[in-house]
Amino acid sequence: MLSILYLLLFFCGGAAITRLLLPRLRPILRVYIGLSFGVLLMMWLPALIAYAVSFTYLAHWLAVGALLLLVLGAWFLRDKREAKPFDEEEKNLLRDLLIMVLPLAILSGYLQYTHCIRPDADGGYYVGQSTYGDLSLHLAVTTSAVNAPFPLHNSLMLDATMAYPYLADTFATTMLMFGQSLPMAMVFTGTLMMTLVFMGYGLLCSQLCRRRGARFLAFFLLFLNGGLGFFYTLSGTVDGSTVTTIWDNLRDVMQGYYHAPTNMPDPNNLRWVNIICDMLVPQRGILGGWTMLMPSLNLLLPPLCKKEKHDIRAIVLLGLFAGGLPLIHTHSFLALALLSVGCMAYCILGTPKGERFEAFKPWLLYGMIAAALSLPQLFAFTFVQATNSQTFLRFQFNWCNNRNNGGLVDSYFWFYIKNIGPAYLMIFLALFRRKPKGSLELPSDIRQNRLLAAGAFLIYLVAEFIIFQPNEYDNNKLFYVWFLLCLPMVADYAMDVYERLRGIGGRRMIALLFLITCFLSSALTVARECVSNYQVYNANDIEAAEYIKESTPEHSVFITGNQHLNPVSSLAGRTILCSSQSYLYYHGFDTTERRMEVRRFFEDPANNLDVLAMHGVEYIYISSYERRSDWFTLNEDAIESLFPLVYETANGENRVFEVPKELLP
């Protein structure tokens, strides 16, 4: 209950600040911006104060004091105009938002519940297909941040910098510290952020789409995205003497591991994964990033599209959202920066020469605020991580269709057509529209499309030529922002085509076939995700983690195996010498030396006690993972003879040994 009250304080604070500064915003939009700003402050204020007093209860209550000061400052800087009323237009908007947001919010709540270490009757924790790999990383950040000094250390590799954007995870830490269980903290914050993302994009579509039907189409095309992968699923195949039917393929989709029609890198080169199932649910970085990206887009784009002047207070708020993004999600920050540059260039170049500096002033203010807040984060964290590794920032044309610069797997346009579907072609059809003959001024809808394209395709070009992380797949976090910016023009164009077909027989059938083509792949993917179920931690793992959490010092150092499902780091929040390559390599860490140290200790403890002394290891953890490791051969008898056993589960599966003090530095 205390966790909910704490969140409500920030919701109320954010809503109050927005009401004071932006009373002329539409009421629903104003409330949404306020709630999002409250989450931004709840992520950032305790973390900033933690640099002085660690991420403790004191830091959190001091953050409430800082929030009150910000509300007081907003009162002094308030816009004294009367607030825009909640009128009939707002009622219609609210009804549309409920139709869009509510079904996906319910779906998201269900997926968060089933995918974020769901307790089961056998005493274990279960997850879904998409969270089997990623979730334990986020759990480790969340649990290790409790009472941790800042800057936050990386609990997955001792002495490594925490350059990974972590504020979406420490958001869950706050709820954990104020009384929620670990599963509930992950489910609650995940569902909350997903709902805010849906609200934000629904509001953006409502402002950018010209037709009511178009806002629904654009909204669902984003979150239920999928290309033509269903053709592979619904077609039988013959391989030698083996015949595979449609039903075999459907069974494989529903029971196989990553055989859904939106995510089949091999053999079908399908990489345009479903945003809900494969991005927002498992990857809390992009979830937190989009939670802040959507209000930024709502503040930035609608006035530009309507050729209205930005309110200076809205520009300041926009700068705060943008400036806070790097430690929440760096890709979202980069996408917003590129979008802003493209839109700025379009607006300034379209302004008469004598008025261009005046048009540049709002962009200058926005950029200065965003830069002042973001540059310290970029230099202290992001650039350090990128420059310390040779696997960041490399040239590669055509994203993951050109795997490791080894040549295109599919032809350029076919790759995008089969991955994205009809929406990809319709982006270009919408952009190729020309102004009517004899018209002196560019129609507002065509101008809006070109304005959005100026920013969106700058993102597209950068993502198409530069890979920003060791995993080339991660550039999709930029492509999805390009996609969401283009969807309003796609939806408007689709509605225009439907209108032109009025009176033609079969119009509704054509529309139905279009919708099936757009949504069938995502429907199969969502259905698969809803029934996926994998155990990640058994009852013994959880029992051992509880002992470690209650009986060992916070942030103490353990030596364990390199498995990614590690209850010591993920459930107990303790620091380990070296986690899985799947986490550390893709964050730019070379783990070769550390893994060799772990190996030589576990294989010959007596002759490698220097590993423990060198790193200040306090405890040794052994489980079935260490016993069956394919990286080293565990000498458990030698460990038993050298170190006192302080804990083991009833069946002896999980054991904790303490390192005597004389072996520590």
pLDDT confidence band for 665 (50 / 70 / 90): low
Judged against a pLDDT cut of 60, whether residue 239 lies above it is answered with: no
Judged against a pLDDT cut of 60, whether residue 241 lies above it is answered with: no
Judged against a pLDDT cut of 70, whether residue 440 lies above it is answered with: no
pLDDT for 559-611, tens place per residue? 999 999 999 999 999 999 999 988 888 777 888 999 999 999 999 999 999 99
Lowest mean pLDDT among 206-215, 227-236, 338-347, 458-467: 227-236
pLDDT confidence band for 279 (50 / 70 / 90): very high
Question: Residue range 56-74: average pLDDT?
Answer: 98
Q: Where are the beta strands (DSSP E) in 396-527?
A: 466-467
The pLDDT value recorded for residue 150 is: 92
pLDDT confidence band for 487 (50 / 70 / 90): very high
Judged against a pLDDT cut of 90, whether residue 391 lies above it is answered with: no
pLDDT for 99-153, tens place per residue? 999 999 999 999 999 999 999 999 999 999 999 999 999 999 999 999 999 999 9
Distance in Å from the first CA to the final CA of the chain: 43
pLDDT confidence band for 27 (50 / 70 / 90): very high
69 burial type by CB count under 10 A (0-12 exposed, 13-18 middle, 19+ buried) = exposed
The pLDDT value recorded for residue 111 is: 98
Judged against a pLDDT cut of 70, whether residue 390 lies above it is answered with: no
Q: Write out the two tokens for 545.
A: 């983690």
pLDDT for 318-341, tens place per residue? 999 999 999 999 999 999 999 999
Question: Residue range 38-60: average pLDDT?
Answer: 97
Written as one string, the DSSP assignment of 269-291 is -B----HIIIIITT-HHHHHHHH
Judged against a pLDDT cut of 90, whether residue 471 lies above it is answered with: no
Q: Write out the two tokens for 574.
A: 């303790």
The pLDDT value recorded for residue 371 is: 97
Question: Residue range 176-187: average pLDDT?
Answer: 97
Q: Please state the φ and ψ torsions of residue 84, each to the nearest 5 degrees.
A: -65, 135
Please tell me which residue, 581 or 484, carries the higher pLDDT value: 484
Helices and strands, counts by H and E, the chain:
28, 12
Q: Write out the two tokens for 217.
A: 């189409």
The pLDDT value recorded for residue 409 is: 93
The pLDDT value recorded for residue 162 is: 83
Judged against a pLDDT cut of 80, whether residue 174 lies above it is answered with: yes
* Alpha-helical runs (H) found in 163-211: 167-177, 182-208
8 Å CB contact between 273 and 261: no
pLDDT confidence band for 234 (50 / 70 / 90): confident
Sole residue written with tokens 């070769």: 592
pLDDT confidence band for 232 (50 / 70 / 90): confident
Please list the residues that pair with 656 across neighbouring strands.
Answer: 621, 647
The pLDDT value recorded for residue 65 is: 98
The pLDDT value recorded for residue 388 is: 62
Judged against a pLDDT cut of 90, whether residue 551 lies above it is answered with: yes
8 Å CB contact between 158 and 615: yes
The pLDDT value recorded for residue 611 is: 94
Give me the chain's average pLDDT, please: 93
* Cα distances (angstroms) measured from residue 629 to each of 156, 445, 514, 623: 18, 60, 50, 10
The pLDDT value recorded for residue 266 is: 85
Domain architecture of the chain: domains with CATH: 538-663 (3.40.50)
Q: Please report, rounded to a whole number, the percentage of residues in the chain having pLDDT higher than 70.
A: 97
Question: Residue range 150-169: average pLDDT?
Answer: 90
What's this model's pTM, rounded to 2 decimal places? 0.96
Q: Write out the two tokens for 577.
A: 């010498």
pLDDT confidence band for 472 (50 / 70 / 90): confident
Question: What b/e string do you get for 373-400 counting C-beta neighbours within 10 Å, with b at 16 or more?
Answer: bbeebbeebbeebbeebeebeeebebbb
Please tell me which residue, 496 or 267, carries the higher pLDDT value: 496
Lowest mean pLDDT among 207-221, 416-430, 585-599, 624-638: 585-599
Question: Residue range 57-62: average pLDDT?
Answer: 98
Lowest mean pLDDT among 62-76, 232-246, 390-404: 232-246
The pLDDT value recorded for residue 146 is: 97
Judged against a pLDDT cut of 90, whether residue 533 lies above it is answered with: yes
The pLDDT value recorded for residue 22 is: 97
Q: Is the peptide bond before 23 cis (omega within 30 degrees of 0)?
A: no
Question: Residue range 80-104: average pLDDT?
Answer: 96
The pLDDT value recorded for residue 392 is: 74
Report the C-alpha dihedral over residues 301, 307, 313, 316, rounded to 10 degrees. 50
Judged against a pLDDT cut of 80, whether residue 384 lies above it is answered with: no
